[in-house]
Amino acid sequence: MNDLEFPEIETGNGIDRDLAATTNDRIKKAVIAIDNFAKTIKGFNEQSSRQTEKMIWLTRWIVVLTIFMIIGLVIQIILAIPTKTSCTEVANSDGSKYTYTCITNIGLGLLGNRSFQREIISDLPMRFP
């Protein structure tokens, strides 16, 4: 601290009184500076808390949007997988119902192809391309 910030005070009552007045003035200025600093820190903390709440809100929205994006990506991948279904009619012993055996081939690229077989029983004849 220099003399410009803390000027020497002369009371005219002797050096010990001058020193006490100067010290008291310096203590008052230090207390004022500390009080201003505490107010500044309090304001900074309030502003920081508001910004943190906004960042948490934005982060939650980013998570929600990311989840929707992943769901959309999975749907696109499923739609892009080539499939082929072929069905053949199986002869019935009683003739009242129609039975079909259908095989679905799914091409999974590097993962290879998968086939699924199912049996369909219907009261009406079905047409397949």
Neighbouring-strand partners of residue 122: 98
Q: Spell out the residues 6+ positions from residue 18 whose beta carbon is closer than 8 angstroms to its own.
A: 8, 9, 10, 11
List, for residues 1-26, the tens digit of each pLDDT value: 444 455 565 555 555 555 566 677 77
Rg, the chain, Cα only:
43
List, for residues 88-111, the tens digit of each pLDDT value: 766 665 666 667 777 777 766 555
- Give CA–CA dist 29/125, Å, rounded: 100
- The Cβ-side half-sphere exposure at 2, using a 13 Å CA radius, reads 1
Q: What is the pLDDT of residue 26?
A: 77
pTM exceeds 0.85 for this model:
no
List, for residues 57-81, the tens digit of each pLDDT value: 999 999 999 999 999 998 887 777 7
Sequence ranges of the domains in the chain: 1-80, 81-122
